Structure 1
Amino acid sequence: MKEITLSPEVTKEITAIYQAMQEGYDQISGEVGLTCEGCPDNCCDSYFLHHTYSEWAYLWQGLHQLDPEKLEQIISRANEYIAQSAEALAKGNRPQIMCPLNDNGLCGLYHHRMLVCRMHGIPATLTRPDGQSMRFPGCFRCQEIVKEKYKPETDAPAMNRSQLFRQLAAVESRLFEERRHLYPRVKKTIAEMIVEGPPAIPLPHCER
């Protein structure tokens, strides 16, 4: 299988999408009054699955920039994460384990962190391809603030994720020459993406 490498143009496009996400996050968090300062929780122990080869490749762009010793430490933590999460899932529990990229409470690969990591916390909306609208209330601290400031709580400002998600989906589609639907979906934790190494273009469903 051929390793997926991002061209400078695609890298720039993903970076721009992430920047727009950051600006949207800052705007909504400012309007709501949400800040992570002094929070007793750390969202880096939340269990998320990620779904794009393009983000996986972008993550590895950042990992390749680390010195070998640092990368080895992250891979070791990622292996531990996979083992511990498998044990929790086998018991029917949702894993709550610190991300292997977390370094003393902060993301060690902040500029290459994933989409979900960038969006977590604030109220957000999303219109799915089938037209169904969804609303996400944000983290527990955000929900507490919203409950106190807004009645009804749906009056709170929310970031519309739809356009940015569509832009990222378009990048993903181009990576597969507009044949993305023929290939298996990604459904992995960051730890699995780290341990498995840079992504490769899998065989289409019809050739498996």
Structure 2
Amino acid sequence: MFVDVTEYLERLSSIYKRVDEAYSAIASQLGFSCKGCEDLCCNRVFLHFTVVENFYLIDGFRRLTDDLKEEIFRRAEEYNQAYSTTSRPVVNLKKLCPLNFEDLCILYEYRPIACRFYGLPGRLVSPTRGTEQFQGCWRFEKLFPEGTDYTLDRTAFYSELAALEGEMRKKLCYYQKYKKTIAQMILDEKNPEGLIPRNYDFFEGY
């Protein structure tokens, strides 16, 4: 079954644009930026929970040169090996994301929402978990040790992303749980069965 997911990627792009605008507005008010940071957020483990973000990232990945893709595949395999053999990797693993080249993300415009939020203090209101508060990054905490009144509310963005994900999954008949690192997303590109929904129709066209 062929399913064109272009519409969903375009809508995700719109969500990302508004996230970036909201982030930039608060960062500008505070005079906060990543410039000159001694730390690298790209060596932290981020887990991602939406298939639509996987498709979006891979859309960017497929635009790279073959040589770059092969280098990223190599890095992704190394990363995944380290992730698989580290106890509590989300807490303990410190290894650069395979997309980081010379301290910059090579697919910056395609990076997932978790990467976009990282840095500023955040707030998320969940119907199941209540209100969650997120600290700023290491640099933010160093610059503002007493905290600030500025918090980026993630709720509306995550709600819209969840609705978009639900629509796309329904169209794809994709009902598996999804939780992956960027390295695992990339390695799925080499595995034809990486995103095939078990017991559901095969899909392509992304």
Q: TM-score range by the shorter chain?
A: 0.7 to 0.9
Q: Which residue of 2 aligns with 1:200?
A: 195
Shift of 1:201: 4.6
Counterpart residue number, 2:102 = 104
Helix, strand or coil at the partner of 2:145: helix
SS at match of 1:36: coil
| 1:130 Cα deviation after fit | 2.3
The 8 Å contact of residues 122 and 134 in structure 2, kept in 1 or not, is answered as yes
CA RMSD of aligned residues (A): 2.5
- Distance in structure 2 (CA, Å) of the matches to 1:112 and 1:79: 20
Q: What letter matches 1:203 in structure 2?
A: R
Change (3 A) 1:46 1:38: same
Match of 1:191 in 2: 183
TM-score (norm 2): 0.86
1:50–1:188: 8 Å Cα contact kept in structure 2? Answer: yes
Q: Does 1:85 align with 2:100?
A: no
Q: C-alpha displacement at 1:27, in angstroms? A: 1.2
State how far apart, in whole Å, the 1-side matches of 2:80 and 2:87 are.
10
Within 5 Å, give how 1:37-56 maps onto structure 2: 37-56=35-54
2:124 aligns with 126
User: Alpha-carbon deviation of 1:202?
Assistant: 1.4
Judging changes above 3 Å, is the alpha-carbon distance between structure 1 residues 142 and 202 closer, same or farther for their aligned structure 2 residues?
same
State the alpha-carbon separation in 1 of the partners of residues 3 and 78 from structure 2.
26
- For residues 90 and 123 of structure 1, do their structure 2 counterparts lie closer, same or farther at Cα, with a shift above 3 Å needed? closer
The question of 1:158 aligning with 2:151 is answered yes
Measured in 1, the distance between the counterparts of 2:93 and 2:186 equals 18
Q: CA deviation at 1:136?
A: 0.7
Q: Deviations over 1:33-83 (max 9, x none)?
A: 321111110101011111000000111100111111111110110001111
Q: How many pairs are equivalent? A: 197
Query: Which moved further from structure 2: 158-167 or 85-94?
Result: 85-94
The TM-score with structure 1 as length reference comes to: 0.85
Q: Give the gaps of 5 or more residues in structure 2.
A: 201-206
Q: Output the amino acid matched with 2:33.
A: T
> Is residue 136 of structure 1 aligned with residue 131 of structure 2?
no
> Where in structure 1 are there 5+ consecutive unaligned residues?
none
